[in-house]
Amino acid sequence: MKVGILTHYDVNNQGAQLQMYALYNKLIELGHIPIILTYTKNFDFNSGERLKNQVSLKSIPYYLKNYMLKKGIGLTIFNVKKYSLNKKFRDNYFSYEGYANSNIDCAIIGSDEVFSIPVGVNIMMYGHGLLTDKVFSYAPSFGQTDTELIKKHNCTELIRSGLLKFKAISARDIHTYKTIKHLTGIDAETVCDPVLLYDFTNTRLNVKIPRQRYLLIYSYDRWMIEHSEINAIKAYARSKNLTTVSAGTYHKWCDVNIPCNCLEWIEYFRGAEAVITDTFHGSILSIITSRPMAVYIRGLNTNKLLDLLERTGLSHRRINEITFDEIDRVFDTNIDFNMVNDSINEMRRKGTEFIRKALELCLKEN
């Protein structure tokens, strides 16, 4: 079947690109023809985010003011390189069609925070406006969006009516499961993110790994900027004779900053001695590459990160604050990766079975 994928397809972010790649290739593995469905993202609730996320001539003043002047030329140049690498990657690896005029056999909504509405509502993410009624979700997330925010923007019926028409519905985390249950009464199946679902074992690229042993840092450039956090991480790295490397994002204080696409990104995790991250996909990459990690959870990703660590048996990798003692405490404990890999294999089996059954249901109704 020709299967459309609705996700955040043009985000300048390694995790978003990698989960799209993983689901796209999982569908190929299952014998289907995937198509990335394009759309214009809605930013009615936060117009500033439109300029930040949609790179165009109109966004140049925004980037000059908020990046070049406020954050420096180093970060600006890095993000330009990163955007170019990510765009080249997307152009080379995916096929695209507009969501409103694509003659697909069925559509998958997900993964990522496709149900989230802090910046605006995208009606297609709830199945509205598609040329097929064969729609199901795989590992969508509401992020930090809750029923109160949905009610505030008078979106309850819009979202509920769409979800009730799905042929099968899943959730990436327990918060999303509870929100779907509250809105529709449906017990969605909880499944893993596509980056956990797809086996990257044989996906290998030749990249220039730093020669010195290194501590990999993965955090968005707006985070890990407090002097106390920076000093703690650098002190820990020095205590272990490690270089600090930031791959995929820019941190001036790191010894090495590496722009890369999402497949190259995996290799930098594989080469690391250890990882410090405060992101969802940074944590997943640490898990699938069997790297010791310390995970700091911030308010914007509490729901999904707590759920991920609990489901993989890695709650003990959480640091309560970014201090030398906390980092040292977490890295002083070992990870039973045999147990973790057993959990991942079960999640992969469950996720694959969900997709297979949903596709079979759509095929029968065609």
Query: Would you mind telling me the total number of residues written for the chain in this entry?
Result: 366
Contact 256, 216 (CB under 8 A): no
Scanning the structure block, which residue is given the tokens 């450039």? 221
pLDDT given for residue 236 in this prediction = 97
pLDDT given for residue 51 in this prediction = 55
Q: Determine the average pLDDT of the residues in 222-250.
A: 95
What's the Cα-to-Cα distance from 79 to each of 9, 264, 343, 344, rounded to whole Å?
A: 17, 16, 35, 32
CA-closest candidate to residue 130, choices 250, 29, 35: 35
Contact 107, 146 (CB under 8 A): no
Q: Determine the average pLDDT of the residues in 60-81.
A: 72
Which part of the chain has CATH 3.40.50.2000? 214-334
pLDDT given for residue 106 in this prediction = 95
pLDDT given for residue 64 in this prediction = 62
Range of weakest confidence among 68-72, 250-254, 256-260, 325-329: 68-72
pLDDT tens digits along 292-311: 999 999 877 788 899 899 99
CA-closest candidate to residue 36, choices 60, 6, 15, 11: 6
pLDDT given for residue 105 in this prediction = 94
pLDDT given for residue 111 in this prediction = 87
Cβ count within 10 A of residue 94: 16
> At residue 250, does pLDDT exceed 90?
yes
Q: What's the pTM?
A: 0.91
Identify the three-state secondary structure at position 206.
coil
2-198+346-365: which CATH number, 3.40.50, 1.10.3450, 2.60.40, 1.10.260?
3.40.50
Angle between helices 73-93 and 14-29 (to 10 degrees): 10
CATH of domain 214-334: 3.40.50.2000
pLDDT given for residue 70 in this prediction = 62
pLDDT tens digits along 18-54: 999 999 999 999 999 999 999 988 888 766 655 555 5
> At residue 63, does pLDDT exceed 70?
no
Rounded Cα gap, residues 63 and 71, in angstroms:
10
Six token digits for residue 61: 């003043």
* C-alpha dihedral, 215 to 221 to 227 to 232, nearest 10°: -20
Six token digits for residue 29: 């593995």
Rounded Cα gap, residues 175 and 107, in angstroms:
23
pLDDT tens digits along 94-144: 999 999 999 999 999 988 899 999 888 999 999 999 999 999 999 999 988
> Which residues neighbour 11 within 8 Å (Cβ) at sequence distance 6 or greater?
17, 53
